[in-house]
Each structure stands twice: as C-alpha cells, then as structure tokens.
Structure 1
C-alpha cells in the first residue's frame, strides 16, 4: 500500500478519468449486446413459427435453426446479466 500513499492529485484524476472511460464503454457494449440478443430471440422464434407452417425437410431445418438461435441468444442474455 506504500505506492498508493504517494500519488499526486493529478495521478488520481488521470486514473479516475481512465476508469470512467472504460466503464462507459462497458455499459454501451452491454446495452448493444442486450438489444442484439433480444432481437435475435425474436428472429429465432419467428424461424420456429415458420417451420410449423412448412412441410418436409425445410420444416425440420427451420425449427432446428430457430431453436439454436433462440437458445444461443438466451444464453448470451444470461451471460450478460446474471454471471
């Protein structure tokens, strides 16, 4: 703790300024990824819905892709906000 006792006011201001910049970018990044993940949940659900209205292999593919996209988006939201 000896190093932190000898800091000047200018050094403290610089450190605070750098951290505020870093936190601002972090918040903007979290907001961006949250909006993107919420949107892709809707896209995945739409793909599942389209799969129920088609037939054959296309239905299976659309449902599988929709489940995969929805699952990945929910996992991203979980990682962003609860971990």
Structure 2
C-alpha cells in the first residue's frame, strides 16, 4: 500500500526581503489540517515553527512580524 502524502502549498508562500537579504517563506498544510511555516535562507538552512497556524495568512503574518521584530538575520544561518 502506497500512502503518499501530497503537500498542499499555500499561494501565500513567497520570498521576503529586508535590508538587501532574502529568505523564502514556505507555508503548507500539515497532516492535522493547520498551516506550517518554514523559512529557508540562501544557504538552505530551514527554520520551522513548532506550532501550526489556523490560516496561511496568519503564518505569513508571523514570518513578517519575526523579520520586523527580530530582524531578517534571525532567520539566516551559516553557510555549511
């Protein structure tokens, strides 16, 4: 039996830029129905929020708020 889980990506997934630096905010539906926020930097480092969001818009708002409040560097790791 092949139970492949197909990821439902949000149309709100997008690149976010601040101060000349960019990250990719990927928003997709989790297996429990909520929305998962994953931010990927230019080096392929990934930050995934522990809690799911009720809407994809809430997830995008959280990514933007994190960049506004903590700076985009808080989402950028080191080159491996």
What is the TM-score normalised by the length of structure 1? 0.24
Bigger CA radius of gyration: 1
Structure with the higher fraction of residues in strand conformation? 2
